Amino acid sequence: MKVIPLGTSSGKPTLKRNVSATAIAREGEWLLMDCGEATQIQIARAGLSPNRLSAIFITHLHGDHFNGLSGLLSTMGLDRRERELTLIGPPGMSEYLSTLARLKILFVNYPLEVREFTSPATGAHAGRLIKIEEGRPGASPPSKKEDDFARDIFFSGERAVPEDDGLTVVYETADYVVQSRPLDHRLFALGYRIEERPRPGRFNLGRARELGIPEGPMFSRLQSGQDVKLEDGRVIRPSDVLGPPRMGKSVAYCTDTRPCPSAVRLGRSVDLLIHEATYTKDLEEEARQYGHSTAAQAARIALEAGARRLLITHFSTRFPDPAPLLEEACAIFPDTLLAQDLMEVEA
Amino acid sequence: MKVIPLGTSSGKPTLKRNVSATAIAREGEWLLMDCGEATQIQIARAGLSPNRLSAIFITHLHGDHFNGLSGLLSTMGLDRRERELTLIGPPGMSEYLSTLARLKILFVNYPLEVREFTSPATGAHAGRLIKIEEGRPGASPPSKKEDDFARDIFFSGERAVPEDDGLTVVYETADYVVQSRPLDHRLFALGYRIEERPRPGRFNLGRARELGIPEGPMFSRLQSGQDVKLEDGRVIRPSDVLGPPRMGKSVAYCTDTRPCPSAVRLGRSVDLLIHEATYTKDLEEEARQYGHSTAAQAARIALEAGARRLLITHFSTRFPDPAPLLEEACAIFPDTLLAQDLMEVEA
């Protein structure tokens, strides 16, 4: 997986750093974490194709993580996207989108599924939700009215994510799974963990030939985990020709948050922990008050989680040069990287 | 007045052109026409101070003219703006802002007055409005709650703008007046005209000395239009020492719109008519269908209005090089300029 920070500034953009958004790219597709204002411009600068975007994950509804959503969704509409898109995040997104659709601010004419997750403790959100459209898109013939700005948005329900040790699966494919858990911010916020499923081991061609397996369909069946029977009656097992299963990579995304057990749980043994570091440690009290972390706190989370590397981001604009944040984190967790807009980090 | 296009692309941004927004700067303050996504970044690039922004005028609620509002308003909140700001535009803005405030997306802690204008024909908007706060800000002591994200927004009512020959004053100061009238788009849209009030003529110091007027308070009184009486009994009139009144400059802003009488009325004899030119004339039918103008149509509006100069903007992304749009307009109205992001045009 390749991580591309698209915005690394906290609260408001600067001329060097946009507000929060991070792309996580895999083979042929990518995921978006948060969508601050102007994210669609950063996507273009990074050379990412909006058509290959599979899902958007929003941590919380503060504008600097969310204000770019309307523009990105509408631009994909103008560009005649046809692929379904999934939008995952806290409650309130469907109310927001339904207001925008009603006022004609939004233009979405492709299937958009909105999944909202809350926590048992903040269930107060329930009941405020608005169903933009009942059922699955395509169930009724699409209308062709000129002002039909958002006909394919549908809300697929609200589920709670646990606040105990568990993680909740919020999105999955054959290749990876995304789990979530609430963080500790001053507004309900979700952290995410993307984990690739293990892949079969490498196929040992030399060994297969030694065993006299004919090239062709039997190779595929062994690679997909099935036994094959040769003409001479011998049964070959996948483990005879495949190396050990290859572990997938994993990335966790924890912002905005105070240091909390959820971040440790989400970041457990990940290849890359993306954690906010809004302030330096001399501003720890301010960090606590506004629901943020210092660079030292982010580093201690990475240490406790056993993460392989830490990428700090979401820097207060009071640090035009964030070098002190990196220095502070590295003193505790040496494998720390400082996020820059549009850099690329391999997980 | 100095006009600074901040975004000149139609529908979606490109890497060279942001979406719609235009600054109109005067002595010590400036006005903003439209506020597409990333306008706050363009404002920073242009070196404009958000604290000197007096009022925002929205033409219509399509996202490419409106999606930057939430971020700009919130950034001024983070930057501890104290000055009142006025927001003028079509109905729906207060509903939008109240939804954002409820969801904590928006952060406005300075006085923000929202004025909505509709037309008699589209009065269907009335009744959908939500009062974010009753009365003037400051009437009740400000609360200090941590999550008090938008305490000072108030909605000062909805008024109709005429569709006949008249213009409606939507904003005014001692120095200038802003008038509005509905355009002809596929969504209710307002055009604007900013007109400086005439200033007194230049004070002729030599003539004043010849007349024996003592330097001091009498000079000020003459400059402000009052007669003065000298010690010898002679009465001096302002016209004795002042040149002819100096006409103010005027600018009209007409986008998005089909060519229409409103644009001619708003642009009558202006120093600079800013008019959309989304397409070339071979796409006139597409322009009509989507509520836009061709460059040739914009030029004919400028000609009919007797505008001194025309600035065309809002170019479809199908024109990476908009030179054909300029050529088409200049053939009809030679004093046409092609808008570029961050250029400066004196009215």
pLDDT per residue as tens digits for the range A323-342: 999 999 999 999 999 999 99
Per-residue pLDDT at B163: 75
pLDDT at B294: 98
A302's CB contacts (< 8 A; 6+ apart) are A267, A273, A275, A309, A310, A333, A335, A336
Binary contact (A40, B100; C-beta < 8 A)? no
Question: Shortest Cα distance from A93 to chain B (angstroms)?
Answer: 9
**Inter-chain residue contact A104 with B71, CB threshold 8 Å:** no
Q: Which of B14, B15, B96 sits opposite A103 (nearest CB)?
A: B96
Residue of A334 and A139 predicted with greater confidence: A334
A71, B186: Cβ pair inside 8 Å?
no
Please state, as a whole number, how many other Cβ atoms lie within 10 Å of the Cβ of residue B82: 9
The catalytic position among B64, B152, B256, B271 is B64
**H-run or E-run covering B25:** strand B21-26
Res B134: pLDDT: 34
What HEC string does chain A produce? CEEEEEECECCCCCCCCCECEEEEEECCEEEEECCCCCHHHHHHHHCCCHHHEEEEECCCCCHHHCCCHHHHHHHHHHCCCCCCEEEEECCCHHHHHHHHHHCCCCCECCCEEEEEEECHHHHHHCCCCCCCCCCCCCCCCCCCCCCCCECCEEEEEEEECCCCCCCEEEEECCCEEEEEEECCCCCCCEEEEEEECCECCCECHHHHHHCCCCCCHHHHHHHCCCCEECCCCCEECHHHHECCCECCCEEEEECCCCCCHHHHHHCCCCCEEEEECCECHHHHHHHHHHCCCEHHHHHHHHHHHCCCEEEEECECCCCCCCHHHHHHHHCCCCCEEECCCCCCEEC
Per-residue pLDDT, A292: 98
Percentage of chain A with pLDDT > 90? 82
- What's the confidence (pLDDT) of residue B166? 86
Hey, is the C-beta of A99 within 8 angstroms of any chain B C-beta? Answer: yes
Question: Residue B342 and residue B347: Cα distance in Å, rounded?
Answer: 15
At residue B88, the pLDDT reads 97
pLDDT confidence of residue B130: 38
Greater confidence (A145 vs A39) lies with A39
Active site residue B64: yes
- pLDDT value, residue A121: 65
Tokens of A5: 């920070």
Interatomic CA distance for residues A191 and A66, integer angstroms: 15
Do the Cβ atoms of B186 and A103 come within 8 Å?
no
Nearest residue to A317 via CA among A10, A100, A60: A10
| Total residues belonging to chain A | 347
- Best residue in A95, A103, A104 for a mutation probing chain B (most B CBs within 10 Å): A103
Segment A49-68, tens digit of pLDDT = 999 999 999 999 999 999 99
Higher-pLDDT residue of A107 and B152 is A107
Say if B41 is an interface residue toward chain A (CB within 8 Å). yes
**Local confidence band at A253 (pLDDT 50, 70, 90 cut-offs):** very high
Measured between CA atoms, the residue of chain A closest to residue B19 is A71
Token pair, residue B313, equals: 């903007």
User: What CA–CA distance (Å, rounded) separates B5 from A46?
Assistant: 25
* Residue of chain A minimizing CA distance to B74: A63
Asked if A66 has any chain B CB less than 8 Å from its own CB, the reply is yes
Q: How confident is the model at residue A137 (pLDDT cuts 50, 70, 90)?
A: very low
**Chain A within 8 Å of B108 (Cβ-Cβ)?**
no
Structure tokens at A68: 């770019």
Chain A residue numbers touching B20 (CB-CB < 8 A): none
- Name the residue in chain B with its Cα closest to that of A290: B146
- pLDDT, average across residues A123-138: 38
The answer to whether the beta carbons of residues A326 and A336 sit under 8 Å apart is: yes
Question: What part of A 257-276 touches B (C-beta under 8 Å)?
Answer: none
pLDDT value at position A166?
86
Top-confidence residue, A138 or B277: B277
Q: How far apart are CA B72 and CA A65, in angstroms?
A: 14
Query: pLDDT value at position A162?
Result: 79
pLDDT tier, A115 (very low <50, low <70, confident <90, very high otherwise): very high
> Is any Cβ of chain A less than 8 angstroms from the Cβ of B209?
no
Mean pLDDT (chain A, rounded):
90
- A107: nearest CA in chain B? B63
Q: What is the pLDDT of residue B139?
A: 38
Closest chain A residue by Cα to residue B99: A96
Between residues B240 and A160, the one the model is more confident about? B240
Cα separation of A302 and A268, whole Å? Answer: 8
pLDDT along chain B (347 residues), means of 10: 98 97 96 98 98 98 98 96 96 93 92 90 42 39 49 81 85 96 95 94 93 93 92 94 92 98 97 98 97 98 98 97 97 98 97
Q: Which residues of A touch B149 (CB under 8 A)?
A: none
* Low-confidence winner among A98-112, A142-156, A234-248 (lowest mean pLDDT): A142-156
